[in-house]
Structures are given as C-alpha cells and as structure tokens.
C-alpha cells in the first residue's frame, strides 16, 4: 500500500504559475484554452518544459462536450504545433452508461485518427458502468483496445470498485477524475488496491478557500468554478494551505491510524475528518 498519487488541479488563470508548483502534472479545460490566451499560454509552457498535461473536454463546465474540431483547435493551441509530447486528451463519456461510453470513445479515437493530429498526443478513455462488473468490463475493453491512459470517474461509486481489488493492468497510466477529499485519498493509499501509475485531479482546494474554509472543513459541492476568478488575500492564503495539504496527502506516508479501513463515499454533504490546517 501507500502508493503515491500524482496530483493535478484545476487552477484559475492568474494562479497557474504560483500554485502549479503543488502539481505533478497539469490539468486544463479545453473551452478555457480556446477562450483565454493567457490560460493557453501557461499550459503550452508546461508542455514545452516536458510536463504531462491532461486536457479535459469541458463536458462538466459546458454541460456537454465541445465538438471534435474545437478539441483539435485547443490541442494545437497549447501543443505549439504539436512539437512536444505530453498532452493527453480525455475522450467523451456518458456517466454510468458503459455501452454509450465505449461507442463515443471509439468514435472519438476514429475521428482523431482521420485528422492531422500529432502522434505524440494520447487519448484517455473513461471507465463507466452501472455497477462494478460493468465498470470492470469497460476497463478491460479499453485495455484490449490499446488505450495507454484510462480514467476512473468519481461520479460512480469508485471506492466500492477499489475495495474489490481489481486486477489493474501494470503498464497503463490511470487517472482518477475528481476527488471526494483528503479522507478518500488517505483511504485509497492506506487500504485500497490503487492502480499503478495513478494520478488525480480536483478543484477542491480552490472551492474550500472561496468558502472561507480549509480543505479539512470543506463540504462537498460548491458549484462550478470560474477560471477568471481573483482571490482576496485571505482566500489566497487558505488556497495555498489547501494545496499543500492535498499534496501531502498524495505523497507522504499514510499510516492505518490516520484513516478507517472502511470508506463510504459521501452523498449530499461531506467533511474531512482529518487534514492539515497549517502548511508551507
């Protein structure tokens, strides 16, 4: 146990350079790449520096994924003429619907194959299903189809699937879409069978700071975030502490005394039982 998790976060434009130091890889939103030149520039610089960047298709922010041409335009904008490796694009998915997700993912890959897309750009498939068996079947299908990057969503009961100790493929990178909080990360690292080469993304440190809270006290939710937001001094201070707490949870040793062996995902509200209130 205690496999470390690479951290990525959704970060507002003016704070990418400052708070990106807490990340192991970047996580950007395609519609923001297209609408905000500075946002796009920051992630193109990270790619040029050799860092991996995951680009989400923007389904959550827009209420539906942007079209293939827009995704390609966003990829070209931050990948600087596709000269640098490290960009991973998340394929469209349908929450809890395995068959629809498989269809949309394969169609997405076929469409990209028909475009002049850089061979260095990778596609990440998202596992979906109505129960752990469907989710496992979906995962195994994408493995057989040769996807080297597979995402596990928090919208279904991810802790339940992890508790079943799935047979993860050792040569695939796994990304955990979204995060319930510090307790989930501690539990995954101390007790669950985490997939190898795991990473995670979240916007929780920002949402907690905006609510005037530390990550330990943050209640689940908070609505959609604004990439143009400007924080006041106190919000920025809490944001930094929250990012540091999250990074520590992903990378420092987690003992069994720090969390329960049983973890149930939150439903309507959620508050971490433990956390770091003061950090660098």
pLDDT tens column, 103-152: 999 998 988 877 766 677 889 999 999 998 999 999 999 999 999 999 99
Q: Residue 8: name the closest of 55, 78, 42, 41 by CA.
A: 55
**Residue whose entry in the numeric block shows the structure tokens 């143009």:** 228
DSSP state of 101: H
Question: What is the reported pLDDT for 278?
Answer: 31
- pTM greater than 0.85 (yes/no): yes
What sign has the CA pseudo-torsion 136, 137, 143, 146?
Answer: negative
Q: CA-to-CA distance for 26 and 15, rounded, in angstroms?
A: 13
Tell me, what's the pLDDT at 271? Answer: 33
Residues 268, 199 contacting (CB under 8 angstroms): no
Q: Are 188 and 194 in contact (CB under 8 A)?
A: yes
CA trace torsion 108, 198, 61, 140 (10° rounding): 40
pLDDT at residue number 24: 96
Instruction: Extract the tokens encoding 161.
Output: 């699937």
Return the pLDDT at 268.
40
Regions of the chain where pLDDT drops below 50: 268-280
In this predicted structure, what is the pLDDT of residue 270?
32
The pLDDT value given to residue 83: 53
Tokens of 223: 């609505």
Structure-token pair, residue 115: 């475009």
* Alpha carbons 155 and 8: distance in angstroms, whole number: 18
Strand partners, 88: 54, 122
């Amino acid at each position: 146990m205690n496999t470390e998790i690479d951290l990525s976060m959704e970060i507002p434009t003016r704070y990418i350079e400052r708070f990106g130091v807490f990340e192991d890889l970047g996580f950007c939103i395609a519609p923001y790449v297209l609408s905000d030149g500075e946002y796009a520039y920051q992630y193109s610089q990270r790619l040029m520096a050799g860092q991996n960047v995951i680009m989400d298709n923007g389904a959550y922010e827009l209420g539906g994924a942007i079209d293939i041409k827009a995704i390609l335009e966003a990829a070209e904008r931050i990948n600087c003429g596709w000269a640098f490796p490290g960009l991973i694009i998340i394929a469209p998915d349908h929450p809890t619907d395995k068959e629809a997700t498989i269809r949309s993912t394969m169609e997405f890959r076929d469409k990209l194959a028909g475009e002049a897309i850089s061979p260095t750009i990778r596609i990440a498939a998202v596992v979906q299903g109505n129960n752990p068996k469907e989710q496992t079947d979906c995962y195994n299908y994408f493995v057989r189809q040769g996807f080297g990057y597979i995402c596990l969503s928090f919208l279904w009961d991810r802790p339940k699937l992890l508790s079943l100790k799935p047979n993860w493929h050792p040569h695939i990178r796994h990304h955990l879409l979204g995060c319930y909080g510090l307790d989930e990360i501690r539990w995954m690292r101390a007790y669950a069978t985490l997939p190898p080469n795991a990473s995670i993304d979240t916007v929780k440190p920002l949402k907690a700071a905006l609510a005037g809270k530390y990550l330990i006290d943050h209640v689940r939710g908070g609505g959609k975030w604004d990439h143009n937001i400007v924080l006041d001094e106190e919000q920025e201070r809490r944001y930094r502490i929250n990012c540091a707490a999250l990074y520590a949870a992903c990378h420092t040793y987690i003992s069994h005394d720090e969390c329960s062996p049983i973890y149930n995902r939150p439903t309507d509200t959620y508050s971490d039982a433990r956390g770091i209130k003061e950090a660098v």
